[in-house]
Amino acid sequence: MFGGANMAGMMKKVQKMQSEMARMQEDLKSRVYESSVGGGAVTAVMSGERFLKSVKVSPAAVDPDDIETLEDLIVAAVNECLRKVEDDAARELGKLTGGLGLPPGMF
């Protein structure tokens, strides 16, 4: 059984972690991620909220006879940005929950 002091201490830790997590989430939302593929042919910019902000396509990447390659480059740039957002969020969350021994995906 938990004693009153232990429970109170645990609740303080949980409240502190919740506060830190909220601050971290706000910080992540404000970040901007950029990914460039194909030697700079396509660049995607995404917010930490996972909203695509822009896609820039180099004129040299536009070949009317090969639209599929351009489409693939756009998908790759957007997916790379999303991977960066996810990796950054996981790394920041790990700083908060690392010592708790929580199973992956819990947060």
**pTM beyond 0.85:** no
Alpha-carbon distance of 31 to 15, in angstroms, equals 25
Residue 68 counted as domain residue: yes
- In degrees to the nearest 10, what's the CA dihedral of 21, 24, 26, 31? -150
Residue 67 counted as domain residue: yes
Total structural domains within the chain: 1
pLDDT in tens, 33-89: 999 999 999 999 999 999 999 999 999 999 999 999 999 999 999 999 999 999 998
Our measurement of the distance from residue 94's CA atom to the centroid of its chain's CA atoms, rounded to an integer in Å, reads 13
Residue 98 counted as domain residue: no
Residue 80 counted as domain residue: yes
CATH number at residue 36: 3.30.1310.10
- The better pLDDT of the pair 100, 64 is held by 64
Alpha-carbon distance of 81 to 62, in angstroms, equals 21
- The better pLDDT of the pair 98, 74 is held by 74
In degrees and rounded to multiples of 5, residue 92 shows phi and psi of -65, -40
Residue 53 counted as domain residue: yes
Q: Could you tell me which residues come within 8 angstroms of residue 67 by beta carbon, excluding any fewer than 6 positions away?
A: none
The H or E element that residue 56 is part of is: strand 52-57
Task: Give the range of the structural domain holding residue 61, as residue numbers without chain letter.
Answer: 22-93
Residue 6 counted as domain residue: no
pLDDT in tens, 6-46: 888 888 887 888 888 888 888 889 999 999 999 999 999 99
Residue 5 counted as domain residue: no
Residue 100 counted as domain residue: no
pLDDT of res. 78 = 97
Q: How many residues does the chain have?
A: 107
Cβ atoms 17, 92 nearer than 8 A: no
Alpha-carbon distance of 33 to 84, in angstroms, equals 7
